[in-house]
Structure 1
């Protein structure tokens, strides 16, 4: 088992640009999202959402969803009763629930209006029946889905967490759906427990950590440990629980980062099938492996862009990376490729 883990982190790979599949796109794309089987791709374009059919890297535009005059900031797919739906948040503070089956009607299923300022982050739980949203209004909202009949549900805000003193920038939930973490512009990190009782949920603040700098990115890499990337920091930080069940930093991993600004969007992702996670840092997208044998992080590969205004997403299996480049004003497609040293 240990030998398998060592061999796994030694696999060399890259994400090869498929230049023939590039699509011109002038409008700003803050958020991009694949559905689970990577057949569909959502791309926010200022205040609209473009829906693409995705087939082995080829993108075919099938629908444009018109919204309001406010920019869309976050997108995420989820499944309800085996029906593909998605959530979108925007600068008008609203979260909309839409169904893929109702694209032509341009109608949303539900509009959620509990926040007071722009939606900055959103993460849905493993069971697809609860999610957390963060906003520039400094609040975290917990939402749950109550089934109204066999075909639909109603989302409602069950709880508001006011632990941050400035904008909430990032959120994540572990796969067991019993822990959540957040970070914001107030240089604080919140560790929360998620308690479920039948169809109701509750967040309990367990720990507040003061940081040297704020961050846009935080991610669980298993059910207990998570990583934290400070703003344009030279190191990626691993946090684990000590004997008193308090989270402490246990590793600083040097990562690639050009000394330029970064942006709030482009969420980190864990790719389970490939055993690594991807986390943006300024002009670099760093791919990191967590070795469960010795609990160490290993930098496997770093994709360097020529500017920091990059927004994107990986497919769930990690085979494709889709990004929008502000400088080039293009949507670019990259494919995972194993590098064979014997042929290079």
Structure 2
């Protein structure tokens, strides 16, 4: 079943909406940053007062307000380009991964003397994706080496408790559901895998529940709730919606949502769903598509930002108030702020 929608005004990176409809994310010109080097990941701290930005193998830390953005530190410790940055919301530790195959966990004191608490190494190739559970004691990583590692926190240490080899090629996307008991992954092998997360005493382990074959591999997927997830195939103008079948407990594709635009895409820039605002961010080709999930279980395209190139990276802040991006054409870190329509 294909879902039709009314496309709202498309915005380019050089102009905002010219009609009466106001873009829900409006660019804040006063806080852009010029950056020539590639940036694959950006993240906001809890409270949005700090931004971490990848610049090749360096992490730049900025203080942030709507009036100013200032560089306050640089973190060194990876031997290859930074692939993902993520602030933990409870501890405010910064987690970084790299194409050197390692993960680093940094102390929350990023202003004066940032301390690398731990370095986790168990992948043979670069890390492409990871997710952290809500208790912040479980990290699951996916890599070019086709494996996923399950990292469990034991007191103040992280241990790799499980290596999953169910994918036969690079693992591009990972997401945990609302109840923290299911995980989905997608890879270059044209598969979506569904895992059950089991908790026994102070240990978690994963078992595969389902394999879903797709015609086109995709770089990103995301749980909307416990029963619904979305998947973006590469080079496709449709977003796929999968729902849990109560009869057999398997996920099946139920909808396709037409989006801008299915030209070749790229790794990184994971999908995010902000439950408080019912907003899904989905990068596809040249566009960042912002969709709202309605109570009638339909998705409405609220905004599509056209960067005129597929080399776009970024993220929403944890509360959905800000969208930060870096793109190849402008070579800028751009900040957009959420506005109610």
Q: TM-score, normalised by structure 1?
A: 0.89
Residue number in structure 1 paired with 2:17? none
- Distance in 1 separating the partners of 2:30 and 2:258: 34
Distance 1:323 1:58 in 2: 17
2:47 corresponds, among 37, 43, 65, to 37
| 2:72/2:111 contact within 8 Å kept | no
Q: Map 1:1-150 onto structure 2 (within 5 A).
A: 13-56=23-66, 58-79=68-89, 82-101=90-109, 104-147=112-155
Match of 1:318 in 2: 320
SS at match of 2:109: helix
Alpha-carbon distance in structure 1 between the residues aligned to 2:293 and 2:115: 42
Q: Which residue in 1 is equivalent to 2:205?
A: 202
Would you say 1:186 and 2:194 are equivalent positions?
no
Equivalent position SS for 2:266: coil
Residue in structure 2 matching 1:334, options 319, 329, 336 = 336
Q: Is 2:275 the counterpart of 1:252? A: no
Q: 1:57 to 1:154 in 2, by over 3 A?
A: farther
User: Partners in 2 of 1:228 and 1:338 — Cα distance?
Assistant: 27
Q: 1:88 and 1:124 mapped to 2: Cα distance?
A: 12
Runs ≥4 residues deviating over 3 A: 102-107
Q: Which of 220, 239, 256 in structure 1 is aligned with 2:242?
A: 239
- Could you list the per-position Cα deviations for residues 142-201 of structure 1 after superposition, in whole angstroms to 9, with x for gaps in the alignment? 111011xxxxx1011111111100000000001211000000000011000101112100
Q: Is the 8 A contact 1:177 1:194 kept in 2?
A: yes
For each residue in 1:249-305, what CA deviation from the matched residue of structure 2 results, as whole angstroms up to 9, or x when unmatched? 011111110x53211111111122211111100111111122343x22222221221
Q: Note if contact 1:309-1:325 (Cα within 8 Å) is conserved in structure 2.
A: yes
Classify the secondary structure of the residue corresponding to 1:20. helix
Q: Does 1:272 align with 2:280?
A: no
Cα distance change on mapping 1:139 and 1:334 into 2, 3 Å: same
Aligned to 2:18: none
Stretch moving more, 70-79 or 185-194 = 70-79
Residues 24-81 of structure 1, C-alpha deviations (whole Å, 9 max, x = no match): 11111101011121111100100100001111263111101123431111111115xx
- Give the superposition deviation at 1:136: 0.5
| Alignment gaps of 5+ in structure 1 | 1-10, 148-152, 340-344
From the superposition, tell whether residues 331 and 102 of structure 1 become closer, same or farther in structure 2 (CA, over 3 Å): closer
SS in 1 for 2:204: strand
Question: How far off its partner does 1:86 sit?
Answer: 1.6
Q: Is the 8 A contact 1:253 1:298 kept in 2?
A: no
Instruction: Please give the alpha-carbon distance, in whole angstroms, between the structure 1 residues aligned to 2:226 and 2:78.
Output: 38
Structure 1 338/102 Cα, relative in aligned 2: closer, same or farther at 3 Å? closer
Unaligned runs of 5+ in 2: 1-20
**SS of aligned partner of 1:109:** strand
Change (3 A) 1:66 1:35: same
Q: Alignment length, in residue pairs? A: 320
Q: Residue 261 of structure 1: SS of its match in structure 2?
A: coil
| Counterpart contact for 2:210–2:250, Cα < 8 Å | yes
How many Å separate the matches in 2 of 1:177 and 1:162? 21
